[in-house]
Amino acid sequence: MVFGDSLSAGYGLTQNTGWVSLLEQKLEQQKLNYKVVNASISGETTAGGLYRIEQALAIHKPTIAIIELGANDGLRGLSLMATQSNLEGIVQTCKKHKAKILIIGMRLPPNYGRAYAEKFQNIFVKVAQHSKLPLVPFLLDGFAEQRELFQSDGFHPKVEAQPLIMKNVWEKLQPMLAK
């Protein structure tokens, strides 16, 4: 189950072209018996995620939960302590439901100031280290500075960037998958 925001929901992309769909295709190609559920919502914050994680886990009963939340918290300048607390709550709820967890990290654009941006980025590292979870340090690693790979809003990757996102996730997800 992918539990994220617009970056996982495929904002601005035609259906089945986002990285989550590419992940599903890769699992099929590798003949790995996993069904991918995309429980992502554009605009979601960690508070919204914490509110709805219990129900999502109860409905979908995932073996693995990929948590890709926090970007909207950072962009809105929400409390870093609250963001970390919400992510930790999501992780604890996933553990209670016996789901393996992959944390997806995010970074903020430089105009948010170095101190805030660094503290924000460290939230994901702290949550992953505290619970001994695998971490994709930065979802957009390797292309975040390439403006041509982003939609006109400057935040959402174009279809051409989706394979790069999937590659970043796959690197940490693959060792979690049972053959």
Domains and CATH numbers, the chain: 2-176 (3.40.50.1110)
Active site (annotated) includes residue 97: no
Q: Which one of the listed residues 60, 97, 131, 156 is annotated catalytic? A: 156
Q: Which one of the listed residues 5, 6, 8, 40 is annotated catalytic? A: 6
Q: For the residues of 6-60, what is the DSSP string, one character each?
A: HHHHTTTS-TT-SHHHHHHHHHHHTT------B---TT--HHHHHHHHHHHHHHH
Residues 133-162: pLDDT tens digits?
A: 999 999 999 999 999 999 999 999 999 999
Residues 47-94: pLDDT tens digits?
A: 999 999 999 999 999 999 999 999 999 999 999 999 999 999 999 999
Dihedral sign, CA of 123, 124, 125, 126? positive
Residues 21-53: pLDDT tens digits?
A: 999 999 999 999 999 999 999 999 999 999 999
Which pTM value belongs to this model? 0.97
Active site (annotated) includes residue 156: yes
Question: In whole angstroms, what is the distance from residue 35 CA to residue 74 CA?
Answer: 31
Active site (annotated) includes residue 153: yes
